[in-house]
Amino acid sequence: MFDVIIIGAGVCGASIARRLSRYKLDILILEKENDVSMGASKANSAIVHGGYAESGKELRGRICYPGRKSFKKLNEELNFGFLANGSLVLAFDEEDLKTLDKLYQMGLENGLDDMEIIDQEKLRSIEENVSDDAIGALYCKGAGVCSPYEYVIALVENALDNGVKLELNSEVVDIEKSNDTFKVETSKGETYESKFVINASGLNGAKVSSMITETNFDIHPRSGEYLIMQKGTGSRIKQVLFQTPSPKSKGILVTRTYHNNILIGPDAIDEEEIDLGTHEERLMEIYKLAQMSVKDDVLNLKEFIRSFTGLRPASSTGDFIIENSQTNGFINVVGIQSPGVTSSPEIARMVEGILVDLGIDLTEDETYNPYRKPIIEYKDLEDFNKVKDLVDLPLGNPDRLVCRCEQVSEKTIRDALNRGIELESFDAVKRRTRAGMGFCQGAFCKNRVLEVMEDEYGHPIENRKFDSEGSGLSRINKKDINEIIKKMSK
């Protein structure tokens, strides 16, 4: 019998689990995929948003800024990678300037104290590679970037260290309630009992909710495609560069990632069905629009290494849904699209408050440890000539470079494999160590990583393919981009 069952190990489920792990509670996370952070939390813009883009009339507008303010301390405790490098919403004409003023006013209403509208001169003094066509910007000093999947992984690892249980490959198929006890059945045929259930299941939010309670909302996928450039390109951009937003999106952005790649995107398309593929027409439109924000030599398709699609779980209400449902004790945390990552610390606090109102006993656990050691930390790559001899060291040598593009050692791989979650795929290691995220995208290191996994775990790794490539997804890759470059040069 658990006190709390959390359905979903994305950013919300992970944040809630870690928040509640400080109390003497029995907590279980159920996740349908083979790893944590496999949905919207894995594939997004990785921005820690300022808190000015949504009105305070909306829940997501009210909790974004409080969430953002938590990230510095969270990163100090969990070491997932956060950089408060600031954001700029660019204006290119008088209408854009009017939009900036509206955003500024919303920011003031939401309590922000670190933003200002700046003119061309100041804009160029803080962002030298911004487009010459930009005539002003809304500058938010405390916004920034993080590594979102590393954030979720860190939250779950810390929660597990503090006693939370995790079951992967466990899709919830039925929920019943009898005598104030919930019974949650999974695809494995297991049934778990709990006093409270928290539905943080992302795109499946409405489906899971309807298993147990009256559900008057829908969740639909809103897709956004992205392009990533090779490591080191991110140093050309100091702040996150937004264009003025639309009703669906915060606009095409150009930003550095935490690990110093350039990331551009996303567009925003409401989908009838889930499509995680990427498409030439959409990516080239994103690339064209992104070029408006920066000088001509900042973006170069020859530096492209990967495209991906993120799916935002957009609710029919247009806002976050965080509530005790009509089935008392079943708490919905759904419709968490942008700024979901930024808001996640505050979402966890809200859910804690709902549980308190429902009568849960929150007794502090004196053994609670909020700290988690990093698997990796940000680093610039060394001159390969200085480290190339490490590539050919034998299996078992901790200094052996398993991945040469990102210079990831065998010691780092083995550390990632022993953090409380048994990893089942190359992609799971990639998200934790960056092995396979470099220029060759795993062509060199995939089998070397799997070799270490099999040596460490003592059994074959059945999923010997990339999660994405092995699933049959159609994604624009470097070969496709090279063909596009040839067409553009004719």
Cβ–Cβ < 8 Å for 368, 21: yes
CA–CA dist 58, 249 (Å, integer): 16
pLDDT in tens, 286-335: 999 999 999 999 999 999 999 999 999 999 999 999 999 999 999 999 99
pLDDT in tens, 187-225: 999 999 999 999 999 999 999 999 999 999 999 999 999
Burial class (CB in 10 A: 0-12, 13-18, 19+), 423: buried
pLDDT at 242: 97
138 and 236 in a single domain? The answer is yes
Cβ–Cβ < 8 Å for 91, 137: yes
Residue 327 CB coordination number (10 Å): 18
129 and 179 in a single domain? The answer is no
CA–CA dist 94, 117 (Å, integer): 13
User: Average pLDDT in the 262-270 region?
Assistant: 93
191 and 237 in a single domain? The answer is no
DSSP 119-147: EHHHHHHH-TTB-TT--EEEEETT-EEE-
Split at pLDDT 50, 70, 90, the class of 376 is very high
Over 80: is that where the pLDDT of 54 sits? Answer: yes
311 and 226 in a single domain? The answer is yes
304 and 233 in a single domain? The answer is yes
CA–CA dist 27, 181 (Å, integer): 14
The verdict on residue 379 lying in a domain is: no
29 and 140 in a single domain? The answer is no
Q: Which of 83-87, 124-128, 454-458, 474-478 is least confident?
A: 474-478
User: Average pLDDT in the 141-150 region?
Assistant: 98
What CATH number should be reported for the domain holding residue 231? 3.30.9.10
pLDDT at 270: 87
pLDDT in tens, 353-372: 999 999 999 999 999 999 99
Report strand pairing: 87-91 vs 191-199.
unpaired
Going 143 to 253 to 478 to 229, the CA torsion angle's sign is negative
136 and 229 in a single domain? The answer is yes
Over 80: is that where the pLDDT of 273 sits? Answer: no
Question: Which residue, 159, 203, 172, is CA-closest to 43?
Answer: 203
Cβ–Cβ < 8 Å for 277, 269: no
Domain that holds residue 107: 82-144+221-315
CA–CA dist 250, 266 (Å, integer): 9
User: Average pLDDT in the 227-249 region?
Assistant: 89
Question: Which residue, 383, 336, 327, is CA-closest to 16?
Answer: 336
The verdict on residue 21 lying in a domain is: yes
The number of distinct structural domains making up the chain is 3
Over 90: is that where the pLDDT of 275 sits? Answer: no
Token digits of residue 282? 């959409």
Phi and psi at residue 433, to the nearest 5°: -125, -15
Q: Which conformational region is residue 434 in: left (phi greater than 0), alpha (psi within -120 to 50 degrees), or beta?
A: left
pLDDT at 463: 64
Question: Which residue, 310, 13, 35, is CA-closest to 155?
Answer: 13
CA–CA dist 129, 146 (Å, integer): 22
132 and 209 in a single domain? The answer is no
Averaged pLDDT of the chain? 95
136 and 238 in a single domain? The answer is yes
The verdict on residue 268 lying in a domain is: yes
The verdict on residue 175 lying in a domain is: yes
pLDDT at 245: 80
pLDDT at 119: 97
pLDDT in tens, 422-479: 999 999 999 999 999 999 999 999 999 999 999 999 999 876 554 555 566 788 898 9
pLDDT at 138: 98
| pTM for the structure as a whole | 0.96
Q: Which of the residues 49, 220, 259, 279 is marked catalytic? A: 49
185 and 259 in a single domain? The answer is no
184 and 324 in a single domain? The answer is yes
DSSP 26-64: -EEEE-SSSSSS-STTTSS--EE--S-SS-TTSHHHHHH
pLDDT in tens, 5-50: 999 999 999 999 999 999 999 999 999 999 999 999 999 999 999 9
What CATH number should be reported for the domain holding residue 388? 1.10.10
The verdict on residue 388 lying in a domain is: yes
More confident residue, 227 or 244: 227
Cβ–Cβ < 8 Å for 111, 263: no
Residue 138 CB coordination number (10 Å): 27
pLDDT at 168: 97
254 and 166 in a single domain? The answer is no
If you count DSSP H runs as helices and E runs as strands, how many of each does the chain have, helices first? 15, 22
Over 90: is that where the pLDDT of 118 sits? Answer: yes
Token digits of residue 180? 């104030």
Whether 49 sits among the annotated catalytic residues: the reply is yes
The verdict on residue 60 lying in a domain is: no
Cβ–Cβ < 8 Å for 334, 201: yes
What CATH number should be reported for the domain holding residue 37? 3.50.50.60
CA–CA dist 23, 163 (Å, integer): 10
pLDDT at 141: 98
Over 80: is that where the pLDDT of 274 sits? Answer: no
The verdict on residue 487 lying in a domain is: no
The verdict on residue 138 lying in a domain is: yes
CA–CA dist 231, 396 (Å, integer): 28
